[in-house]
Amino acid sequence: MKLLENMKSVSALMTAVSICQEDVILRSMDGSEEYNLKSALSQLISIAKLCEEHGGESEIICMNRMDESNLLRFFNELDKTNADFAI
């Protein structure tokens, strides 16, 4: 699933990832960089590096279908919240 470029709540994403049962990978769109978001150190490095170098254009890969479903639900809720604050 493509990571939203304008996602403002990284901490909320990390909370959603922490609930996942298996690995969740953040990957640059060209596939040159991959980080396991289940690792706290990888979380810090990946978010900073990918957002800086790739303008936030990344994708998230879940190793478990249920995890993917949970994260899709998270992004849908985030879209609704962002729409509520849109001017």
Kindly report, residue by residue over 45-81, the tens digit of the pLDDT.
Answer: 877 776 676 555 678 889 999 999 988 888 888 777 6
Domain-wise residue ranges, the chain: 10-85
β-sheet bridge partners, residue 2: 59
52-71: b (≥16 Cβ within 10 Å) or e: eebeeebebebeeeebbebb
CA atoms within 13 A on the CB side of 82: 12
| pLDDT, position 13 | 82
Is 3 in contact with 59 (CB distance < 8 Å)?
yes
Higher pLDDT, 54 or 16: 16
